[in-house]
Structure 1
């Protein structure tokens, strides 16, 4: 409610008052603006990643994961044990979307195992059965 000094009337603040109109989807604080810039996985992407993760947990190969949402990329890290370095990282980097592709699977050594524009194709790297090679 606003009190007008001239008429000493109480008037409700409505949509006609320009000071009270705030667009719904515009960030209002610095923290909101920073949160709007953070890259994250959407629900579909997370579902695809967690599907692969669940299968690998069932086989005993993986045990833990971490999700990081950073300013320039989102990272899904996969661990055998919580206190180790990640075995694999699945990254989404929108800056590379027009070039090599936004999605990549990176091994613990830093080797990019697969990169592409479609998450389904990139995740197929986990469908291949890895074989241990014995040296003679």
Structure 2
């Protein structure tokens, strides 16, 4: 007879259903893509990439496709009760802003967009 392989348990230690990967909700993605579209229209960004892992999701914006991302927006739900699950990272990987809400975390990029358009 065949061997029965147990199906992996998708529930965490607390018994709640755990997602296999972190993703962006529709409102979060709309906000991020709106900012991306405005930066593209200003001629500053040209490409983007999204990464969905088990413990975080990230959106990276590039000036050119061959470079490192100029800005990376990360969502880490495990940090929700500590520093906040949203983080804005620069090209070198340093955290520029961290918070519990997406809008204040995107504020430095929004301000830079105003400077780009104003020139």
Query: What TM-score do you get using the length of structure 1 for normalisation?
Result: 0.69
What is the aligned partner in structure 2 of residue 100 from structure 1?
83
Find the aligned partners of 1:95 and 1:53 in 2 and give their Cα distance. 26
Alpha-carbon deviation of 1:118? 0.3
Match runs of 1:106-117 below 5 Å: 106-117=89-100
- In 2, Cα distance between equivalents of 1:94 and 1:127: 24
Shift, 1:42, TM fit:
0.7
Equivalents in 2 of 1:82, 1:108: separation in Å?
13
**Equivalent residues in 2 for 1:69-84, closer than 5 Å:** 69-84=52-67
Compare CA radii of gyration and give the structure with the larger one: 1
Matches within 5 A, 1:45-84: 45-84=28-67
- Counterparts of residues 33-52 of structure 1 (less than 5 Å): 33=10, 36-52=19-35
**TM-score, structure 2 normalization:** 0.78
Structure 1 runs (4+) greater than 3 angstroms displaced: none
Aligned length: 101
Unaligned runs of 5+ in 1: 1-28, 132-136
Supply the distance in 2 between the matched residues of 1:104 and 1:128 (Cα, whole angstroms): 17
Q: What are the ranges of 5 or more consecutive residues in structure 2 without an aligned counterpart? A: 1-6, 11-17
CA RMSD of aligned residues (A): 1.9
What displacement does 1:129 show? 2.9
